[in-house]
């Protein structure tokens, strides 16, 4: 079978529309036009409004540019998983015991080193492969922290010590516990149904079976096509989340939040709010947390390093591409409560 004929067969097998016909692509174009229009309007206003807008654009681009490579990497990985990994393989990897399965989900990040942006499309594809809900939730919350890249960056910032080990232990425990909450949930009550602009029928369609018989080159081509559609689909949530984070940072100065961090309880709340608002990638947040060492408690610093990668503005909006809205609320509130509790225990009951 030659390359052109195999691609034609793959196109017939796969119902995905070209990316330029997808609503996600149109959304990205509309956002780009809107930013251009706002910039033009603000350039005609006073220096204060223009300066504030410049601050917003700078922060937005900083967050977006920092996050988009990891979203792209996660999307590419999701496409490769879809084409090259069978549902049967996932079934063999995941233990039957629900406790062991949730624990495996909490440490899967070492096998799939993705950040909070890249983990969302990977989790969605894994669900399409039949991954149990509890494993996916634990992986979603833990993988942005529990991976080799973050381990290396945290070690570079803090060295061996309670921050490094506490970050990973607390993250794994919390992800495991929240994963167990979803053990008895039904997929139809948790997951979004595929929409018109999502990769078609990602819950049901078996692209792995469709790709059998194709050459390696054509399988890679198909996986890149699926990954590209995932990237554009999740990109809209990343853009909205980055805009919201930029707005918060523009109108709520970081100094205001830092001024609240004097007490054992208030400091935890302050740094958790800061982690949610700043939406910093988990691969670099340890270096920002290092600047808090002389002003904040160990528990509050750990809450910044554990809660932020689990949930921030951009990732919580990206969750909407996978889970129903009420489930997204649970995925924000539960990590917030458990991370806050862990930080308070460390502050009051340890000598760290």
The pLDDT tens digits for 8-18 are 444 444 444 44
pLDDT tens track for 313-325: 888 888 888 888 8
**Region of 259 on the Ramachandran plot (φ > 0 left; ψ -120 to 50 alpha; else beta):** alpha
The mean pLDDT value for 21-40 works out to 57
Q: What is the mean pLDDT of the chain?
A: 76
The pLDDT of residue 261: 62
Measured CA to CA, the distance from residue 19 to residue 208 in angstroms comes to 20
Measured CA to CA, the distance from residue 327 to residue 68 in angstroms comes to 25
Query: Is pLDDT above 50 for 196?
Result: no
Contact 279, 115 (CB under 8 A): no
pLDDT tens track for 202-259: 344 556 666 677 778 888 888 888 778 768 766 776 777 677 767 766 776 666 666 6
Contact 222, 207 (CB under 8 A): yes
Query: Is pLDDT above 60 for 55?
Result: yes
| Phi, psi (rounded to 5 degrees) for 212 | -65, 135
pTM of the model: 0.70
Contact 235, 307 (CB under 8 A): no
Query: Is pLDDT above 60 for 282?
Result: yes
- Nearest Cα to Cα of residue 327 among 136, 168, 159: 136
Is the Cα dihedral 20, 23, 26, 32 positive or negative?
Answer: negative
Query: Is pLDDT above 60 for 166?
Result: yes
């Amino acid at each position: 079978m030659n390359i052109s004929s195999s691609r034609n067969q793959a196109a017939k097998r796969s119902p995905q529309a070209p990316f330029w016909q997808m609503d996600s692509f149109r959304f990205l174009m509309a956002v780009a036009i809107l930013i251009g229009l706002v910039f033009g309007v603000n350039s005609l206003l006073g220096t204060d409004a223009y300066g504030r807008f410049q601050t917003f654009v700078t922060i937005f681009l900083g967050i977006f540019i920092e996050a988009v490579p990891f979203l792209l990497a996660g999307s590419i990985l999701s496409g490769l998983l879809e084409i090259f990994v069978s549902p049967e393989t996932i079934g063999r990897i995941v233990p039957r015991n629900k406790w062991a399965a949730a624990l495996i989900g909490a440490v899967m990040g070492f096998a799939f080193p993705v950040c909070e942006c890249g983990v969302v499309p990977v989790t969605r594809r894994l669900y399409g492969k039949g991954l149990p809900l509890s494993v996916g939730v634990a992986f979603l919350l833990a993988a942005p922290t529990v991976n080799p890249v973050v381990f290396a960056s945290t070690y570079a910032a803090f060295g061996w010590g309670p921050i490094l080990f506490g970050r990973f232990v607390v993250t794994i425990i919390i992800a495991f516990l929240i994963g167990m909450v979803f053990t008895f949930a039904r997929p139809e009550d948790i997951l979004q149904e595929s929409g018109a602009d999502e990769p078609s029928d990602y819950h049901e369609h078996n692209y792995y079976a469709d790709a059998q018989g194709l050459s390696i080159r054509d399988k890679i081509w198909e996986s890149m096509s699926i990954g590209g559609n995932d990237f554009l689909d999740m990109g809209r949530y990343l853009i909205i989340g980055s805009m919201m984070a930029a707005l918060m940072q523009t109108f709520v100065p970081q100094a205001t939040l830092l001024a609240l961090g004097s007490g054992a309880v208030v400091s935890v709340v302050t740094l958790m709010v800061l982690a949610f608002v700043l939406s910093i990638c988990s691969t670099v947040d340890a270096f920002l947390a290092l600047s808090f060492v002389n002003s904040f408690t160990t528990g509050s610093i750990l809450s910044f390093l554990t809660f932020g990668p689990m949930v921030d503005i951009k990732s919580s909006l990206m969750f909407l591409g996978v889970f129903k809205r009420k489930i997204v609320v649970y995925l924000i509130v539960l990590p917030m409560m458990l991370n806050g509790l862990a930080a308070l225990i460390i502050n009051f009951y340890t000598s760290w």
